[in-house]
Amino acid sequence: MKLILLGPPGAGKGTQAKTLVDEYGIPQISTGDILRAAVKEGTEMGLKAKAFMDAGGLVPDEVVIGIVRDRLQHDDCAKGFILDGFPRTVPQADALQSTLSGLQKELDLVISLAVDGEALVERLAGRRACGSCGRGYHVSYEPPKKSDVCDVCGAALVQRADDQEETIRKRLAVYDEQTAPLIAYYRGCGLLRELDGMKPIDEVRTRISDLLKAV
Ligand code: ADP
Ligand code: ADP
Ligand code: ZN
């Protein structure tokens, strides 16, 4: 299964990707996670990316295209992959097509999750993640059993620096301008399937499974 999860920040891409990893045994490729790890490690790429991420803007295309091009060559992508947060611009989508055709692979599906602007702000403002194992939560919609503590490993939950209201609004504007055009792009290739991302997490999960069964 070679899949793109497309949608604005907070649409639920990461949440859904994580369950698909277990169900299909294919990796989640999240450019956001890869970039945050690089920032944490203080690599040259991380240093370059940090200012763009903190400001809620996009990291330059050549940086993220390079990340994904390398990642797709790993052995664990042989059976498929879930792209989460990539592509985010038309040049990234074009680069993905040429990388995949070089590897003699083709995308199966692009699933677009649609969510209202105000709901996105609420989701992102309430998003938390475990500082140790990375498991995601939401203070209201997916709360941990004990507040601010990870159910899985007991470590403290943290909030992302870019999940502050001002930066959230900037990221949503960047999405409308630079990423939303990919909906028409993938509709044009016949790969797009659109889902109502406003539904509860489990219901969205069922709808995605139905689409994947039909491939
Ligand atoms: P979200 O979960 O809110 O959609 P991500 O974790 O995917 O956010 O991305 C966090 C930040 O990392 C983005 O705001 C952007 O600065 C950078 N980033 C991630 N993926 C890309 C990409 N494909 N192109 C450019 N920048 C990216
Ligand atoms: P993305 O990766 O698209 O930026 P996430 O998967 O991180 O989005 O989800 C953003 C926040 O919203 C998380 O706190 C998550 O728990 C919550 N969330 C995800 N899907 C839903 C949903 N269908 N309904 C309510 N909250 C959701
Ligand atoms: Zn944890």
CATH number at residue 185: 3.40.50.300
Q: How many domains does the chain have?
A: 1
Per-residue tokens: 106 = 């083709």
| 169 is known as an active-site residue | no
Q: Judge if the beta carbon of residue 86 lies within 6 A of ligand 1.
A: yes
Kindly give the number of the ligand 2 atom that is closest to the alpha carbon of 11: 3
Instruction: Tell me, yes or no, whether 149 lies in a domain.
Output: no
Instruction: Tell me, yes or no, whether 89 lies in a domain.
Output: yes
| 170 is known as an active-site residue | no
Q: How far is it, in rounded angstroms, from Cα 30 to Cα 46?
A: 15
Instruction: Tell me, yes or no, whether 92 lies in a domain.
Output: yes
Q: Judge if the beta carbon of residue 88 lies within 6 A of ligand 1.
A: yes
Instruction: Tell me, yes or no, whether 165 lies in a domain.
Output: no
Instruction: Tell me, yes or no, whether 168 lies in a domain.
Output: no
Q: How far is it, in rounded angstroms, from Cα 77 to Cα 167?
A: 33
Specify burial of residue 28 (Cβ count, 10 A radius: 0-12, 13-18, 19+).
buried
Instruction: Tell me, yes or no, whether 131 lies in a domain.
Output: no
Q: Judge if the beta carbon of residue 207 lies within 6 A of ligand 2.
A: no
Residues 31-86 pLDDT 10s:
999 999 999 999 999 999 999 999 999 999 999 999 999 999 999 999 999 999 99
| 13 is known as an active-site residue | yes
Expressed as residue numbers, the domain containing 85 is 2-27+74-119+176-213
Average pLDDT over residues 3-7: 98
The answer to whether the predicted template modeling score (pTM) of the entire model surpasses 0.85 is yes
The answer to whether 92 touches 86, Cβ cutoff 8 Å, is yes
Average pLDDT over residues 189-194: 97
Instruction: Tell me, yes or no, whether 205 lies in a domain.
Output: yes
Kindly give the number of the ligand 2 atom that is closest to the alpha carbon of 127: 14
Residue linked to tokens 């044009």: 188
Instruction: Tell me, yes or no, whether 91 lies in a domain.
Output: yes
Q: What is the pLDDT of residue 85?
A: 98
Residues 122-170 pLDDT 10s:
999 999 999 999 999 999 999 999 999 999 999 999 999 999 999 999 9
| 69 is known as an active-site residue | no
Q: What is the pLDDT of residue 202?
A: 97
Per-residue tokens: 65 = 């295209």
Q: Judge if the beta carbon of residue 13 lies within 6 A of ligand 2.
A: yes
- N- to C-terminal Cα separation, the chain: 9
